[in-house]
Each structure stands twice: as C-alpha cells, then as structure tokens.
Amino acid sequence: AGTYDESNPYVNRDPRLAATIVYPGQVYNGKVFSPVISGNDDHPAKANNSTKTGYNFKKYINPIDQYDDMWNTGRNIMVIRYAEVLLSKAEAMIELNLINDEMYAAIDAVRQRAGMPAVDRSKYNSQDKLRQLIRRERRVEFAYEGMRRFDIIRWNIAKDVLNGKVYGCRQAGNENPILDETYPNGDHKLNLQGEPFFVETRTFAEHNRYLPLSQSSLDKNPKLVQNSGY
C-alpha cells in the first residue's frame, strides 16, 4: 500500500482490493471492465444485471465461467482458511498482551501471502495499535466471507458501528462529452457530484447480539426459553 492518488485510485493499494472486486479499468477474464463508458455492456444503462456502483464482485467467482452464470461456478466455498487460524491466533495474543515475534509472524504470514509488507513493528508496538491493525486485517482478508458481523459482535462494537442513518449517493452529474471507446485514453475525466439521499435508520440493541429462537423450536420443546428481547 502507498500514497492514495484520487486521479488514479487503484494504484499502490492493498493487493487484496484487486483480488476481491473488479474495479473500472481492471482486466478481468481477458476483458477490460468499463462501467463508465456509455453503451458498453458494463454500463448500468446497458443491461439490467450491470452493476450500479461501478464495481463488481470477484471473490469466489471462477474467471473461466461467464460472469452472468456465476451461480453455477465450480469454485469451492472456504469454510475455514489457514489465514483465519493465523489471524485468530494473533488476535488472541494481542488481547492477552503477548506482543512478541510469534504474534507478529502470524500476521506477517497472511500479509506477505497477499503481497503486503511485514508489519511495521516500530508503528504497531502496543496493544491498542495492534488491535486496530488486526481488525483491519480481518476486514480486508475476509471480505465477503461472512465473518464481519461475528467479528463486530465479538469485539463488542456493534452499538457503535451498526446504529445510525444510512445514506446512498445519487449521481448528479453528466458525462460531457459522452465518453465512448474511441475517446483518447487519459484525456477525459468525469466530474460527477454525488447527491446524498437518506435510505434508512438502522438500530442495533443489546439483545441483537443473540439471534431469536424459532417459534417452531419453542413449540417443540417447552423447556426452551426465548432469548431476552424477543
């Protein structure tokens, strides 16, 4: 990872970004993904199943298959990965304040496999800083693998990150001139202003840490007691 450049936002980033999603300009399965080019198959106005965000999902998808047939991919779903074993070990050691070579080695093994440098020990040398680091590592490494909510619950931060208003972004600008495939590369930039709009208010109460027992389970076993709050 390096310095972020808004005019070239996908350069010098964590390699796991490109491994997780397909972003504009990225070559995927021998084709350049171009959701901003008018009339292109990737443009939202071209097809109902085109992405509306400018990004597409990449993890778990078999590049050999057609993207619109992703439900039939032969890619196996990972139930538990060695990376989870390593990061869980490192997290446990951090919580026990066991800041040592063994803990750093567990994180470094995951980062270096992804093409990231080893942890800067001069910067991440305290329990608080390492806690921030390990939580970021889990968020990036396990993106879209179904772990995020469980991590948030375990860290007891759900009330801080799952409560509040959610806003979307409506495109409020236009391409001028219209961008097409014959336009000189690099000579045209889009200046689209996002217009925020309210989506919904989300709430997370303390009892939401636990899921409710199904009514059918309660009916079958009268000794079961519903979790508090449901």
Tell me, yes or no, whether 148 lies in a domain. yes
Give the number of domains in the chain.
3
> How do the pLDDT tens digits run along the chain, 230 residues long?
557 887 788 888 999 999 999 998 888 888 888 887 767 777 777 777 778 788 888 887 776 555 556 566 666 777 899 999 999 999 999 999 999 999 999 999 999 999 999 999 999 999 999 999 999 999 999 999 999 999 999 999 999 999 999 988 776 555 544 555 555 555 555 555 667 789 999 999 999 999 999 999 999 999 999 999 99
Q: What are phi and psi of 205, to 5 degrees?
A: -95, 165
87/144 same-domain check = yes
Alpha carbon distance 169, 161 (integer Å): 19
Name the phi and psi angles at 214, rounded to 5: -70, 150
212 within domain boundaries: no
H or E element, residue 194: strand 194-202
Peptide bond into 177 cis (omega under 30): yes
Indicate if 95 and 146 belong to the same structural domain. Answer: yes
On whether both 148 and 120 belong to a single domain, the answer is yes
Instruction: For residue 179, give its domain range.
Output: 164-202
For the whole prediction, is pTM greater than 0.85? no
Taking CA 108 as the corner, what is the angle to CA 20 and CA 129, rounded to the nearest 5 degrees? 90
CB atoms within 10 A of CB 138: 22
Would residue 223 count as lying in a domain?
Answer: no
